[in-house]
């Protein structure tokens, strides 16, 4: 965030506008991070389901 703050200080002289833009940037970062983490959790659940499904299918085939 230091680099972002430095650039905002360099580009925007109005402190209120600078603070609003910084807040939007922070919010966007948090939203993106949350989305990425949720996608990773979903991917893990999908992979666990696939593994269980494959195991169950093999057990059914082997028991016939």
Structure confidence by residue, pLDDT tens digits, 7-47: 989 999 998 999 999 999 988 888 887 776 777 777 777 77
- For residues 5 and 26, what is the distance between their CA atoms, to the nearest angstrom? 11
Domain extents for the chain? 2-63
Residue 61 has what pLDDT? 64
- For residues 42 and 48, what is the distance between their CA atoms, to the nearest angstrom? 10
Cα 41 off chain centre by: 10
pTM of the model as a whole? 0.54
Higher pLDDT: 62 or 26? It is 26
- For residues 15 and 34, what is the distance between their CA atoms, to the nearest angstrom? 28
């Amino acid at each position: 965030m230091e680099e972002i703050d430095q650039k905002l200080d360099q580009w925007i002289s109005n402190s209120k506008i600078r603070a609003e833009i910084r807040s939007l940037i922070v919010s966007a970062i948090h939203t993106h991070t949350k989305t990425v983490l949720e996608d990773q959790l979903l991917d893990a659940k999908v992979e666990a389901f696939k593994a269980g499904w494959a195991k169950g299918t093999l057990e059914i085939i082997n028991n016939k």
